[in-house]
Chains A and B, each alone.
Chain A
Amino acid sequence: MSKYKLVHYINQFYGGIGGEEKADIPAEKRAGAIGPGLALNQAFGDEAEIVSTIICGDSWFNENLEEAKKTVLEMVREDQPDVFIAGPAFNAGRYGVACGAISEAVKNELGIPVVTGMYIENPGADMYREKVYIIETKNSAADMRKAAPKMAKLALKLAKGEEIGASAEDNYLPNGIRKNFFEKKRGSERAVEMLLAKINGKAYTTEYPMPDFDRVDPQPAIKDLSKATVALVTSGGIVPKGNPDRIESSSATKFGEYDITGVEDLTAETYETAHGGYDPVYANQDADRVLPVDVMREFEREGIIGKLHNKFYTTTGNGTAVASAKKFAEEIARRLIADGVDAILLTST
């Protein structure tokens, strides 16, 4: 029996080329398995093997998304694999996003089944879990020994065209599709065990996570806007020209705080957007279109608002993990409250 063929995608670090300083290398293909691919090959036994490995810099992939996808897709197409496998990316954010993006492209454009793997808090997990199978891993490469057999098992099932089980059976992140399967124990026994874990403060996994609407109660209305200090906060990525704090174009890991004392108008010479998720031309021409400093200054002069706060806060909402966004918001809110700001105008794209 001939073995199933796989193509494996990894980043520059796992490819043994280098760390962050080599993150801008373009995609290249090498024969056979490299790095984590060796563990996968071992897990495949004699049923499948990695025929080639594509190594690609995380920065290069994310900053040249279209070209990168095209290049990698062509490399995959040449080998006609039975399954495409990417990562696992563990908790590496840009690597995770790249694994998700290229897996989705291979699945949709080449019609080849795909498997990737990452930690649940990797931004790529939220972005791609409903699009491709993502094997859940821990947050560090130390988990490779356990992750490889799981990825291999699912990859083999896909290669053979077998039916994929529920997420809990085949170890992928829940993808929004509820699927039945038979547990080993009956429901009442599972309930008692879950209850004992809950009582004793031990970890347990609910079988049906409640939809989390994360509702925010509206704050009481501002009584007198003409006395209020209003701040501008945006997820539209407006930054001083040159993006001094290097806020990422997607999957942001930070936000920026910039002083606009004396700034009446954002111009093409002074401000731009760092956001990689929309056509930046109009925002770069006039950043007021996203962060309306000009209009707020008018309101200030006309006495409609008390004053415009002298700092604005910005990040890119593009693919940014909900957990990160929450963290940013908590810190931004803390600073705004400390500065005595009464209201915020929150703009997006």
Chain B
Amino acid sequence: MKLELGYIDIKGIRFDDYNAIEDGVLVVNPDELVKPVLEDELIKSAHFEIAAPGESVRITPVKDVIEPRVKVEGPGAIFPGMIAKVDTVGSGRTHVMRGMAVVTAGPIVGFQEGIIDMTGPGADYSPFSQLHNLVLVMEMQDNGATAHEYEKAARMAGLATAARVGELARELVPDEVEVFETPTIAQSYSDELKDLPRVAYVMMLQSQGLLHDTYCYGVDVKRTLTTMISATEVMDGAIVSGNCVSACDKNTTYHHLNNPVIQDLFKQHGKTLNYVGTIITNENVYLADKLRSSDWTAKLADFLSLDAAIVSQEGFGNPDTDLILNCKKLEAKGVKTVIITDEYAGQDGKSQSLADADVAADAVVTGGNANELILLPPMDRVIGCLDYVDKIAGGHDGSLRPDGSIEAELQVITGSTNEMGFNRLSAR
């Protein structure tokens, strides 16, 4: 599949009474944009706020981060199976509003987490601190609907808003165009590629229940077998996050759209390696599911005659077992494997980092120790609310101080220890 990404660089966001992109500045009419969000009867209130890099702003609790994109040529539309028809995406041309994101914020459950600081020490740890953020703050009705329904309402509102904003880039001339082409099996044996090592990317997706789900073309991933997807489909929003917990190492929709492993494998494709495919596999609760899914990972690796693979993870805890199973079974097939994870080594850094381990995992990239403490100074403006800071993962006794500063573990920061290797943070 061949996809052209046309990047429209966004250098700022402002509110006005019309919608447009003017000289790289996104202009939105917040009242108009919020109307369709409020049509969902589960959403009691919603409003937009703007946060720019360097501003003294704290956004919390963050649910998802989404990059606005629009499908300009080729079949389907962004976020197929979720807010668009289920047509296969990943070919033609897509416009990307680079440098900004739609951030959804607001509580779904009482311990929800996720902080993005736009300045200060916390800004070094979240990639979203460097973006111009259009924040959609939502509050849910207290009408007895289930948390599942709230999560879905918030997820859909975020995706739909991003798609509406993305529409503004449809007719623009991109600042830069990049072309990505994934090979078929036959093409992967072409003269230019056949002598290079055959490499696949194994993307693990969180799939455990409320606040832990990922969707592929609208399918709840926990009900899938390990399968293959074209990397360009991922760039068109075939995979979206329904994940709210574990701010530091959940893969937001933004991460999926800009999957760094996919980008970096493409950079080497045809030069030092032959990027033959992308395998997606789930992280279920039920142990037999874990065994089956990892068996299928190894089986697909066999089908593809792989020499090597990179496995990325999402979350912490029982997904460590999926990670190790995938690695062990790939290595057992002779597939040289590198895994990307993060660590929970305790605040003192002395505990064993993963909940599972195996000697086969001899090539590990780490996104850092999520338990390491960080002091986040108070910000002039809070988007969302701080009510939840004391309860968020990594917040601990006395974490929210009277002056508004927060002493917490790194795990409170959205995207800080990402397990796709999105960041430079590491640990030794």
CB distance from A185 to the nearest CB of B (A): 7
Give the Cβ gap from B413 to chain A, nearest Cβ, in Å: 12
- Say yes or no: B369 contacts A179, CB within 8 Å: yes
- Say yes or no for B345: interface residue by CB 8 A criterion: yes
A177, chain B: closest CB distance, angstroms: 4
Per-residue interface assignment for chain B, residues 189 to 219, with 1 indicating a CB less than 8 Å from any chain A CB and 0 otherwise: 0000000010100000000000000000000
Are B307 and A187 in touch, CB under 8 angstroms?
Answer: no
- Cβ contacts under 8 Å, A176 to chain B: 350
B265 at the interface (CB under 8 A from A): yes
* A186→B423 contact, CB < 8 A: yes
> Which residues of chain A are within 8 angstroms of B421 by Cβ–Cβ distance?
186-191
Give complex CA distance A257, B331 in Å.
Answer: 41
Q: Would you call A207 and B308 a contact (CB within 8 A)? A: no
Is A179 within 8 A of B349, CB to CB? Answer: yes
Is B426 a contact of A180 with CB atoms below 8 Å? Answer: yes
Q: How far is the CB of A331 from the nearest CB of chain B, in Å? A: 24
Check if A142 is an interface residue, CB within 8 A of chain B: no
Bound Cα distance from A150 to B363, whole angstroms? 26
Which chain B residues lie closer than 8 Å to A211 at the CB level? 352, 357
Q: Is the interface of B mostly helix, strand, loop or mixed?
A: mixed
A181, A185, A195, A204: which has the most chain B beta carbons within 10 Å?
A195
Does A168 belong to the interface (CB within 8 Å)?
yes
Closest chain-B Cβ to A7's Cβ sits at a distance in Å of 29
Q: For window 183-237 of chain A, which residues contact chain B by CB distance below 8 Å?
A: 183-192, 194-196, 198-199, 204, 206-212
- Out of B357, B423, B428, name the residue touching A174 (CB < 8 Å): B428
Query: A167 contacts the other chain (Cβ, under 8 Å)?
Result: yes
Task: Write the chain B residue with the least CB distance to A181.
Answer: B426
Question: What is the number of residues of chain B that contact chain A, defined by CB distance less than 8 Å?
Answer: 53
Flag if A185 contacts B424 (CB, 8 Å). Answer: yes
- Assess whether A206 is in contact with B197, with CB atoms less than 8 Å apart: no
The answer for the CA separation of A207 and B263 in the assembled complex, in Å, is 21
Would B260 and A208 count as touching, CB distance under 8 A?
no
Q: Is there contact, CB below 8 Å, between A207 and B272?
A: no
Please measure, in the bound complex, the distance between the C-alpha atom of A103 and the C-alpha atom of B98, giving whole angstroms.
53
Most chain B Cβ neighbours within 10 Å, of A167, A179, A207, A208: A208
Contact segment of B33-41, B114-122, B336-344? B336-344
Residue from the list B263, B348, B425 in contact with A188, Cβ < 8 A: B263
CA distance A175 to B358 in the complex (A): 21
B365 near A207: Cβ-Cβ < 8 Å:
yes
In the assembled complex, which residues on chain A have CB atoms less than 8 Å from the CB atom of B428?
Answer: 166-169, 174, 178-179, 181, 207
B418 part of interface (Cβ distance < 8 Å): yes
User: Which residues does chain A contribute within 8 Å of B410, judged by CB atoms?
Assistant: 180
Contacts of B424 in A (CB 8 A): 182-187
Q: Is the CB of A204 within 8 A of B423?
A: no
Could you tell me the distance in whole angstroms from the C-beta of A179 to the nearest C-beta in chain B? 6
- Is the Cβ of B365 less than 8 Å from the Cβ of A178? no
Interface residues of A in 139-176 (CB under 8 A from B): 166-169, 174, 176
B156: interface (CB < 8 Å): no
Q: In the complex, A168 Cα to B427 Cα: how many Å?
A: 8
Least CB separation from A215: chain B residue: B359
A180 and B338 contact, CB distance less than 8 A: no
Partner of B310, one of A183, A184, A195, A209: A195
Instruction: Indicate if the CB atoms of A196 and B365 lie closer than 8 Å.
Output: no
Contact call A180/B263, Cβ cutoff below 8 A: no
Task: Select A199's contact among B124, B308, B358, B427, beta carbons within 8 Å.
Answer: B308
Q: How far is the CA of A176 from the CA of B426 in the complex (A)?
A: 15
What is the distance, in angstroms, from B194's C-beta to the closest C-beta of chain A? Answer: 15
Q: Any chain A CB within 8 A of the CB of B291?
A: no
- Closest B residue to A167 using CB positions: B428
What residues of chain A lie closer than 8 Å to B403, measured between beta carbons? none
A208 touches B336 (CB 8 A): no
* Interchain nearest-CB distance for A343 vs B (Å): 28
Neighbouring B residues of A207 by C-beta, 8 Å? 364-366, 426-428
The interface residues of chain B lying within 8 Å CB-to-CB of A212 are 359
Instruction: Confirm or deny: B367 has a beta carbon within 8 angstroms of a beta carbon on chain A.
Output: yes
Q: How far is the CA of A196 from the CA of B359 in the complex (A)?
A: 20
Chain B's closest residue to A166 (CB) is B428
Distance in angstroms from B314 CB to nearest chain A CB is 14
Q: Which residue, of B343, B361, B424, has the highest number of chain A Cβ atoms within 10 A?
A: B424
Closest chain B residue, CB of each to CB of A206: B364
Residue on B nearest A204 in the bound complex, by CB: B363
Determine the distance from Cα of A167 to Cα of B199 in the docked complex, in whole angstroms. 31
Instruction: Give the residues in chain A near B363, CB-CB below 8 Å.
Output: 194-195, 198, 204, 206
Q: Which residue of A lies closest to B124 (CB)?
A: A182
**A174: chain B residues within 8 A (beta carbon):** 428
Query: In the assembly, what is the distance between CA of A196 and CA of B336, in Å?
Result: 9
Residues of A within 8 A of B427 (CB): 166, 178-181, 207-208
B56 CB within 8 Å of chain A: no
Cβ A196 vs Cβ B422 within 8 A: no
Q: How far is the CB of A193 from chain B (nearest CB, A)?
A: 9
Using an 8 Å CB-CB cutoff, how does the interface string of A110-147 with B read, 1 for contact, 0 for none?
00000000000000000000000000000000000000
Given A179-B349, A212-B359 in contact, is the A196-B268 Cβ separation under 8 Å?
yes
Tell whether, in the assembled complex, residue B420 and residue A188 are in contact, meaning their CB atoms are under 8 Å apart.
Answer: yes
Which of B345, B362, B365, B421 lies at the interface centre, i.e. has the most chain A CB atoms within 10 A of its CB? B365
A210: chain B residues within 8 A (beta carbon): 357-359, 361-362, 364
> Across the interface, which residues of A come within 8 angstroms of B362, CB to CB?
206, 210
Q: Find out whether the CB atom of A187 lies under 8 angstroms from the CB atom of B340.
A: yes
B305 at the interface (CB under 8 A from A): no
Q: Which of B217-252 contact A (CB under 8 A)?
A: none
A248 CB to closest chain B CB, in angstroms?
Answer: 31
- Bound: A179/B268 CA distance, A: 30
Interface presence of B134 (CB below 8 A): no
- Decide: A187 and B367 in contact? CB cutoff 8 A: yes
B367 touches A194 (CB 8 A): no
Contact A187 B423 (CB under 8 A): yes
Alpha-carbon distance between A200 and B302 when the two chains are bound, in angstroms:
20
- Once the chains are docked, how many angstroms separate the CA of A177 from the CA of B352? 10
Residue on A with the closest CB to B275?
A192
A195 & B349 in contact (Cβ 8 Å cutoff): no
Residues of A within 8 A of B368 (CB): 180
* Interfacial chain B residues near A166, Cβ < 8 Å: 426-428
Q: How far is the CA of A207 from the CA of B345 in the complex (A)?
A: 14
Could you mark each residue 308-322 of chain B with 1 if its beta carbon is under 8 Å from any beta carbon of chain A, else 0? 111010000000000
Given contacts A177-B350, A188-B421, A195-B308, contact A208 B261 (CB under 8 A): no
Cα–Cα, bound, A180→B352 (Å): 15
A–B Cβ pairs within 8 angstroms, 12 of them = A168-B428, A178-B350, A179-B349, A182-B425, A183-B424, A186-B260, A187-B260, A191-B421, A195-B363, A199-B199, A206-B363, A207-B426
Q: Top 4 nearest A-B pairs by Cβ distance?
A: A187-B421, A188-B421, A188-B260, A178-B349
Known A187-B340, A199-B307; further 20 A-B contacts with Cβ < 8 A: A166-B428, A168-B428, A178-B369, A179-B349, A179-B427, A181-B428, A186-B422, A187-B426, A189-B260, A191-B310, A192-B265, A192-B273, A194-B363, A196-B272, A199-B308, A204-B363, A207-B365, A207-B366, A210-B364, A211-B352
